[in-house]
């Protein structure tokens, strides 16, 4: 019986206008997004080639990851160059995007964005009328008049509906991934493939959350028009409102100085020391020592506050699956907040190495993006669990609501 | 008859679930947004005041002509519209080691979100079934069988629908405006309120555009279920896809050289190369002086040039001063030497600055061209037009960045002419004064950020507003054409 429900649901979807329009939209978007981001990755790679440090330069820089094609996250920030200069000061290179301010006005259209925003909406659109829509046309009453058990019906509907939604998504992603990875510029190793696999798995989990939520709303309403309205507004709240306002709220709870303030303090440190040096109050060694230690204090204070800000903001935004998914996906792809914190730590260690070097030879900067194991250790597992929990919560609620649903 | 249809459309909308959901959402989101952003604004203000104090205190102890640029960086207060609109995050491009990358992952939420996402969605939800629902129920047939022209029906639906749609928006705006006006931390002048009114008018143009888009789709559809999907498809393209893709397409169409590489070249020109050139010019000065002054020059050289060139011990510095005070010929040589060395370094600075400026100018020209392409590409979407219009009007957008840069450079010019005068005065007073000596600049001109005049802003945003009005007209005309041929059966 379950099989025929699933079959009916899939066939019903395949023949609907909704299916064609959503599939056209998502396929175009996925292909365009991956192609655009692939070109962007090529530009970043070209830029990295130009910026490779010479043997006499104390510069820390890492290459862009091919996974940024799928989730760019903070890769533009991560791939800046960090030059160790006078008094151990770290001079940060500008981002390539910094000269075109339009990048700052709009969002990056990578696969992460397509899944997080657009496909989540599509998942809800697939599910919003699964129960209320059938009730309106009267088929639900007929189906249940047979010896059909409600649990089987709701599970069959979920499996059938979600399969017909997620399979075309997979085909589009696979197709574009194969096209992109055929390029000699995209060098994916085994670890990268595993990360991409995990990313796709978490995307499916995330989309399932929205699908189950759509089903839940459908089970709680009696008209598909009301179900649609509630679905759309919940989508807007979960995808935009909670994650984005949550971050500004976190900034109110953790006092963190602005970049402008830090820049003022940083320039004052070296100017003061140089001034005192010239006016013969300090010798050269003392001066550079002070610049280094003062900057270290400034950085240590900031990093502590920033770590607290990240944890507060993650705790606030955990009410939204979109925030958990963003963190998980970007961390997996090596372009997330945890990677940024790791890189900054590595740069600081490198600065200390350069600072304390005994010989003339400059140490080289080594940095490897986190492995899957490390990502799960840094809180990736918690985010994954949140997605699973949301799935269970919404599905169980939908199940219970359907058991009590008045089909008349 | 027109008014009857308008009122019917209006009341049928406000009794619907979507209206209630819309009102609740708009009011809650607006209040939450304004409260959080106001608090953020106050924090930014406190940070701004702290920066000003830090600079003042530092200058009172360490001000000297050299490196003055790093001490007087103009500090801009948070924009007055910050409690409503964040616009472009200012921290993103400062190129600091300690930056907060969270806004890159989670773009901040503000009033623009309410208009561009919530209100545009609500507008489409109000209009997607304006025609199809009536056809499906059979009421459209009855309506048309009366002697009312179709154009009138469409116009009435537009007026009634938009009026009901604007209630949640106006209610939430009133709540926001009330919060801003009673909060003592926010002091808006009349020009800010005028900008706020214009922002409301622009938002209404944008919202009505999406209402008309929904109406247009409805006149081309037979069923509400297909109409809503087409509407959402168009909405996703116009709001979520086109604007976000345009900067990336423009970056492909118009390449710019590596920004980081140019930065390094500029730093090299102004640092290492400048020093080499300065030393080369100075050595020529030394040669000239050696030939002209002979013995007293050798004596001057043995005193490490009194600190006027290269490293010098405090004893030698003092000895040079005493020698100059005792011997007028020696003093004349020292004064001439100081002047020539300063000239040599100024010349080296000038040459290198010109080279660096040329590099920067080339990059800026190319970057401006790329930004322009991206901006024009994004104009296909009403979303981008509205964002330009709203952010430029309230001084939180792209235009404000250019404006701030311009007034900062005006301030630098003013400050440097003050500094030159001040340095000359100090040199007259104290012959041993040089660019690394402490200089009292307590009477310096202060940087005061003045908002760009409303007229200039308005001139700049009118084209975008025009495009939004054009979109309205096109969608209405298309809806009209669709409805004229609509089969009401």
Q: What is the pLDDT of residues A330-361, one digit of tens each?
A: 999 999 999 999 999 999 999 888 888 766 77
B220 phi/psi in degrees, rounded to 5: -105, 0
B383 and B75 Cβ atoms separated by less than 8 Å: no
* CB < 8 Å to B106, chain A: 243-244, 246-247, 317, 323, 326
How confident is the prediction for chain B on average, in pLDDT?
87
Give the Cα separation of B66 and A5 in Å (integer): 80
Number of separate domains in chain A? 1
In-domain check, residue A408:
no
Report the alpha-carbon distance of residue B445 to residue B441 in Å, rounded. Answer: 9
* Residue pLDDT, tens place only, A211-220: 999 999 999 9
Task: Answer whether residue B327 is part of any domain.
Answer: no
> What are the φ and ψ backbone dihedral angles of A91, each rounded to 5 degrees?
-95, 120
The answer to whether the CB atoms of B117 and A118 lie below 8 A apart is no
Domain around A284 = 2-403
CB-based contact (8 Å) between B46 and chain A? no
Tell me the residues of chain A between 180 and 209 that have a Cβ less than 8 Å away from chain B: none
What's the gap in Å between the CA of B427 and the closest CA on chain A? 17
Q: Which domain holds residue B455?
A: 2-248+449-484
pLDDT tier, A199 (very low <50, low <70, confident <90, very high otherwise): very high
Residue A281 pLDDT greater than 70, yes or no: no
Is residue B72 a part of any domain in this protein?
Answer: yes
Residue B73, domain member (yes or no): yes
Nearby residues of B153 by Cβ (< 8 Å), 6 or more positions away: B5, B143, B144, B483
Please list every residue in chain A whose beta carbon sits closer than 8 Å to the beta carbon of residue B260. 47, 50-51, 80-81, 93-94, 96
Of B229, B240, B259, nearest to A118 by CB-CB distance is B240
Question: CB–CB of A244 and B107 under 8 A?
Answer: yes
CA distance B437 to B170: 60
**Nearest chain B Cα to A313, which residue?**
B102
Q: Which chain A residues touch B214 with a CB distance below 8 Å?
A: none
Question: Is A145 near chain B, with CB under 8 Å?
Answer: no
Chain A with chain B: Cβ pairs closer than 8 A:
280
Spatial contact of A195 and A68, defined as CB atoms under 8 Å apart: no
A73: left (phi over 0), alpha (psi -120 to 50) or beta: left
Is the predicted pLDDT of residue B447 greater than 70, yes or no? yes
B240 contacts on A by Cβ (under 8 Å)? 117-118
Contact A212, A154 (CB under 8 A): no
pLDDT band, very low/low/confident/very high, at B92 (cuts 50, 70, 90): low
Q: Do B109 and A90 touch (CB under 8 A)?
A: no
How many angstroms separate the Cα of A265 from the Cα of each of A257, A292, B96, B342?
A: 11, 13, 12, 30
Give the position of tokens 């952003």.
B37
| A67-83 pLDDT per residue, tens | 999 999 999 889 888 98
Cα dist from B454 to B388, B457, B459, whole Å: 15, 5, 9
- Find where tokens 């939604």 sit: A165
Closest CA to B474 of B121, B238, B232, B197: B238
Helical spans, DSSP H, in B305-434: 314-326, 328-378, 382-393, 398-429
% of chain A surpassing 70 pLDDT: 99
Interface of A with B in 67-106 (CB under 8 A): 73-74, 76-77, 80-82, 90-106
- The pLDDT value given to residue A115: 93
Give B212's contacts (C-beta < 8 A, 6+ positions apart): B127, B158, B472, B475, B476, B479
Give pLDDT, residue A47: 85
Q: Give the residue with greater pLDDT, A98 vs B21.
A: B21
Global pTM exceeds 0.90: no
Paired tokens of B465? 């507003």
| Residues of chain A positioned with their CB less than 8 A from the CB of B101 | 74, 77, 337, 340
Stretch B355-367: mean pLDDT, rounded?
90
Question: SS3 of B46, please?
Answer: helix
Chain B nearest C-alpha distance from A203 (Å): 17
Does position B89 have pLDDT exceeding 70, yes or no? no
Query: Taking CB atoms and an 8 Å limit, are B47 and A257 in contact across chains?
Result: yes
DSSP at B93:
G
* CA proximity to A213, closest of A2, A1, A5, A390: A390
Measured in angstroms, the CA of A93 and the nearest CA of chain B are apart by 6
Task: Give me the percent of chain A exceeding a pLDDT of 90.
Answer: 30
pLDDT at B94: 62
Residue of chain B nearest A81, judged by CA positions: B260
Residue B136 pLDDT = 84
Q: Identify the helix (H) or strand (E) that includes residue A394.
A: helix A381-403
Q: Do the Cβ atoms of B346 and A74 come closer than 8 Å?
A: no
Look up tokens 């007026």; give the residue. Answer: B159
A99 vs B90, B244, B256: nearest CB: B256
Q: Report the complex ipTM.
A: 0.86
At residue B318 the predicted structure's pLDDT band, cuts being 50, 70 and 90, is confident
Residue A112 belongs to a domain = yes
State yes or no: pLDDT of B466 exceeds 90: yes
Residue B334: exposed, middle, or buried by beta-carbon count in 10 A (0-12, 13-18, 19+)?
Answer: buried
Q: Which helix (H) or strand (E) holds B446?
A: none
- A29/B261 CB distance under 8 A: no
CA B449, CA B407: separation in Å to the nearest integer? Answer: 8
Q: How many domains does chain B have?
A: 1
Phi and psi at B130, nearest 5°, equal -55, -40
Evaluate if residue B93 carries a pLDDT over 60.
no
- Report the Cα–Cα distance between both ends of chain A, in Å, rounded: 22
How long, in residues, is chain B? 489
| Buried-state track A53-77, b at ≥16 Cβ within 10 A, e below 16 | eeeeebbbbbbbbbbbbbbbbbbbb
Interface test with B, best of A29, A62, A106, A224 (most B CBs within 10 A): A106
Which tens digits make up the pLDDT trace of A132-190?
Answer: 888 887 887 887 787 778 888 889 889 999 999 898 888 888 888 888 888 888 888 88
Q: Is A372 within a domain?
A: yes
Of B355, B347, B349, which is closest to residue B266 (Cα–Cα)? B355
The mean pLDDT of B216-242, rounded to a whole number, is: 90
Residue B342 within a domain:
no
Instruction: Kindly state whether residue A25 falls inside one of the protein's structural domains.
Output: yes
Q: Are B38 and B83 in contact (CB under 8 A)?
A: yes
* Among the partner residues A17, A76, A302, nearest to B98 by beta-carbon distance: A302
Residue A137 touches chain B, beta carbons under 8 Å: no
How many Å separate Cα B225 from the centre of its chain?
42
Q: Which tokens sit at B118?
A: 């919530």
Phi-psi region of B311 (alpha: psi -120 to 50; beta: other; left: phi over 0): beta
Checking if the pLDDT of B24 tops 60, the result is: yes
Per-residue model confidence (pLDDT) at position A138? 80
DSSP of B138-189: THHHHHHHSS--HHHHHHHHHHHHHHHHHHHHHHHHHHHHHHHHH-TT----
Judge: A21–B71 Cβ closer than 8 Å, yes or no. Answer: no
Nearest to B187 by CA among B87, B80, B48: B80
Lowest mean pLDDT across A145-149, A315-319, B403-407: A145-149
What residues of chain A, 166 to 185, have a C-beta less than 8 Å from chain B? none
- Looking up tokens 């600049």 gives B441
Q: Check if A19 contacts B (Cβ < 8 Å).
A: no
- Distance between CA A145 and CA A159 in Å, rounded? 22
- Please work out, in degrees rounded to the nearest 5, the angle formed at the alpha carbon of residue B273 by the alpha carbons of B271 and B275: 65
Asked if A274 reaches chain B (Cβ–Cβ under 8 Å), the answer is yes
Does B36 sit within 8 Å of A249, measured CB to CB? yes
The distance of Cα B430 from the centroid of its chain, to the nearest Å, equals: 45
- Mean pLDDT, residues B178-191: 88
Residue B62 has its nearest CB partner, among A73, A271, A327, at A271
| Contact across the interface for B248 and A32, Cβ inside 8 Å | no
CA distance B280 to chain A (A): 22
Confidence at B358, pLDDT banded by 50, 70, 90: very high
The highest-confidence range among A293-302, B11-20, B96-105, by mean pLDDT, is A293-302
DSSP strand E in A62-164: where? 82-84, 90-92
Decide if B208 is inside a domain: yes
Task: Please indicate if any CB of chain A lies within 8 Å of the CB of B77.
Answer: no
Confidence of residue B139 (pLDDT cuts 50, 70, 90): confident
**Do the beta carbons of residue A243 and residue A320 sit within 8 Å?**
yes
Are A12 and A163 within 8 A, CB to CB?
no
């Amino acid at each position: 019986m379950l099989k025929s429900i699933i079959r009916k649901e899939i066939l019903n979807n395949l023949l609907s206008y909704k299916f064609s329009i959503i599939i056209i939209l998502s396929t175009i978007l996925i292909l365009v997004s991956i192609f655009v981001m692939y070109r962007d990755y090529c530009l970043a790679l070209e830029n990295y080639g130009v910026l490779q440090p010479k043997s006499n330069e104390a510069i820390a820089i890492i290459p862009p990851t091919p996974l940024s094609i799928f989730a760019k996250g903070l890769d533009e920030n991560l791939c800046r160059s960090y030059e160790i200069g006078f008094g151990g000061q770290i001079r940060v290179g500008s981002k390539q995007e910094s000269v075109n301010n339009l990048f700052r006005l709009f969002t990056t259209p990578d696969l992460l964005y397509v899944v997080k925003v657009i496909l989540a909406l599509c998942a809800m659109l697939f599910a919003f009328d699964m129960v209320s829509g059938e009730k309106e046309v009267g088929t639900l009453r007929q189906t249940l008049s047979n010896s059909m058990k409600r649990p089987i019906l709701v599970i069959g509907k979920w499996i059938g509906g979600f399969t017909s939604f997620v399979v075309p998504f997979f085909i589009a992603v696979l197709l574009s991934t194969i096209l992109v990875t055929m390029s000699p510029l995209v060098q994916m190793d085994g670890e990268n493939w595993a990360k991409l696999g995990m990313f796709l798995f978490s995307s499916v989990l995330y989309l399932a959350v929205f699908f189950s939520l759509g089903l839940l709303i459908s089970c709680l309403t009696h008209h598909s028009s009301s179900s649609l309205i509630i679905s759309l507004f919940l989508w807007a709240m979960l995808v935009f409102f909670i994650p984005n306002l949550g971050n500004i709220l976190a900034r109110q709870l953790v006092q963190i100085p602005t970049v402008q303030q830090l820049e003022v303090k940083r320039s004052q440190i070296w100017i003061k020391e140089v001034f005192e040096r010239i006016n013969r109050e300090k010798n050269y060694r003392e001066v550079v020592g002070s610049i280094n230690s003062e900057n270290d204090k400034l950085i240590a204070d900031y990093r502590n506050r920033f770590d607290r800000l990240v944890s507060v903001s993650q705790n606030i935004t955990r009410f939204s699956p979109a925030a958990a998914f963003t963190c998980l996906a970007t961390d997996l792809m090596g372009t997330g907040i945890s990677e940024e914190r790791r890189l900054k730590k590595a740069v600081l260690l490198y600065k200390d190495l350069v600072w304390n070097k005994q010989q003339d030879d400059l140490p080289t900067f080594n940095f490897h993006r986190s492995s899957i194991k490390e990502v799960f250790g840094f809180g990736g597992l918690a985010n994954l669990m949140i997605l699973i929990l949301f799935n269970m919560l919404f599905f169980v609620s939908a199940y219970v609501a359907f058991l009590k649903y008045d089909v008349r | 008859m027109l008014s009857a249809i308008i009122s019917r459309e209006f009341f049928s909308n406000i009794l619907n679930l979507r209206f209630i959901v819309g009102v609740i959402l708009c009011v809650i989101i607006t209040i939450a947004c304004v409260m959080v952003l106001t608090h953020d604004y106050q924090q930014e203000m406190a940070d701004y005041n702290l920066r000003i104090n830090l600079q003042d205190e530092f200058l009172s102890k360490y001000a000297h002509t050299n490196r003055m640029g790093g001490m007087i960086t103009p500090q801009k207060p948070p924009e007055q519209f910050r409690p409503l609109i964040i616009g472009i995050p200012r921290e993103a491009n400062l190129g600091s080691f300690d930056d907060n990358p969270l806004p890159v992952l989670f773009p901040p939420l503000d009033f623009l979100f309410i208009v561009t996402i919530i209100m545009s969605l609500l507008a489409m939800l109000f209009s997607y079934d304006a025609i199809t629902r009536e056809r499906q129920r059979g009421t459209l047939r009855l309506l048309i069988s009366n002697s009312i022209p179709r154009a009138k029906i469409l116009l009435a639906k537009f007026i009634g629908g938009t009026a009901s749609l604007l209630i949640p928006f106006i209610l939430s705006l009133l709540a926001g405006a009330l919060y801003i006006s009673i909060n003592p931390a926010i002091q808006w002048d009349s020009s800010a309120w005028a900008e706020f009114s214009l922002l409301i008018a622009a938002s209404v143009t944008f919202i009505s555009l999406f209402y008309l888009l929904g109406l247009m789709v409805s006149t081309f559809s037979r069923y509400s279920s297909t109409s809503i999907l087409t509407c959402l498809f168009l909405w996703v393209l116009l709001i979520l896809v086109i604007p976000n893709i345009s900067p990336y397409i423009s970056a492909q169409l118009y390449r710019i050289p590596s920004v980081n590489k140019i930065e390094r070249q500029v730093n090299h020109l102004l640092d290492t190369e400048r020093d080499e050139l300065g030393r080369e010019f100075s050595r020529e000065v030394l040669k000239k002086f050696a030939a002209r002054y002979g013995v007293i020059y050798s004596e001057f050289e043995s005193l490490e040039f009194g600190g006027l060139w290269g490293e010098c011990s405090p004893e030698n510095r003092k000895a040079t001063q005493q020698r100059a005070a005792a011997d007028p010929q020696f003093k004349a040589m020292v004064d001439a030497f100081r002047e020539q060395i300063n000239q040599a370094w100024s010349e080296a600075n000038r040459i290198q600055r010109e080279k660096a400026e040329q590099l920067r100018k080339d990059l800026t020209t190319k970057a401006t061209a790329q930004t322009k392409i991206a901006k024009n590409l994004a104009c296909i979407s009403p979303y981008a037009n509205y964002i330009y219009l709203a952010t430029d009007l309230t001084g939180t957008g792209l235009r404000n960045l250019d404006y701030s840069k311009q007034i900062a450079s005006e301030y630098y010019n003013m400050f440097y002419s003050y500094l030159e005068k001040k340095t000359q005065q100090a040199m007259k007073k104290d012959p041993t004064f040089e660019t690394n000596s402490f200089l009292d600049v307590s009477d310096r001109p202060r940087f005061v950020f003045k908002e760009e005049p409303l007229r200039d802003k308005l001139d700049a945003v009118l084209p975008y507003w025009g495009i939004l009005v054009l979109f309205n007209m096109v969608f209405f005309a298309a809806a009209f054409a669709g409805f004229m041929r609509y089969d009401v059966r």
